[in-house]
Structure 1
Amino acid sequence: MVEFKKAKLKDISLMQEMIKPEIESGVILPRSNDEIATSIRSYILAYEKDELIGYGALKIYSQKLAEIRSLVIKREFRAKGVGSALVKELLKEAKEYEIEAVFALTYRDKFFINLGFEVVDKDELPSQKIWADCIKCKNFPVCNEIAVIYKF
């Protein structure tokens, strides 16, 4: 059974180790330990027994908009409902903050569409997203990710 926990600073090394293959493949942008530490409160971890099997973060941009980011599930736990359950946890947190919409940039739009997200034009996203994160991407400025949004 999967258990969700808020991340703690001591979890950073485990999180970094787990995400290495996704960073190497270019699916997820690298973040330094300091970057993760400054936003540690935004991460939710998924555990099965005592094993970290996934995590994701909810970055809040404004009173109305947040982003699901750094979503990763260990390969052997994919297609088993862990990712969907984790996204639902992140959406639940966004709703508790009374955020109106949550977006994500993804290569797996169908996964998010199945959870109630809709595809939108990237121009609808906050410009600070582009300059803060996207500029670090090897594909910038030709982004091939798909923008999706969930509205409460």
Structure 2
Amino acid sequence: MFAKNNLTQTDMIALSRAHTVGFSHCSRFANRLYSFSPSSPVDPDLDPTYAQKLMQACPQNVDPRIAINMDPATPQTFDNMYFQNLVTKKGLFTSDEVLFTNKASQATVIDFANNPGDFSGAFDTAIRKLGRVGVKTGNAGQIRVDCTAFNS
């Protein structure tokens, strides 16, 4: 998708900001709290205090309907706090946190965390590019019921 639609790594990082609003069901990140690896049940890339808060909100085998905010600081605001959270190891999903832990994207995350104007400009550019991506219609595509899986 990158090359075909001219989306760059910076564009994808900027678009990931969508995780600053909304919520997630505990099951979508429980592996980071209870079964990350044989040597460390909790993902070491999570801030320990944040991990404890997540465990309180999402104990093992919690009701699957329970959900928490993706952004623990400003969950109702579309801001650059998402990137500040990543820098302080408070990214809810592994796919978010890797944006900070990976050297190829870390500098961009730090810039977006420290400079809301840089982020806003990058987001505006990325969302315009995304708007030019071809929309599938009819049998060529589907609206997913669950964004993590194809419909049956």
Same fold (TM over 0.5): no
- TM-score interval for Structure 1 and Structure 2 normalised by the shorter chain: under 0.3
Select the structure that is richer in helix: 2
**TM-score, scaled to structure 2:** 0.24
Higher relative contact order (CA 8 A, sep 6+): 2
Which structure: larger Rg? 2
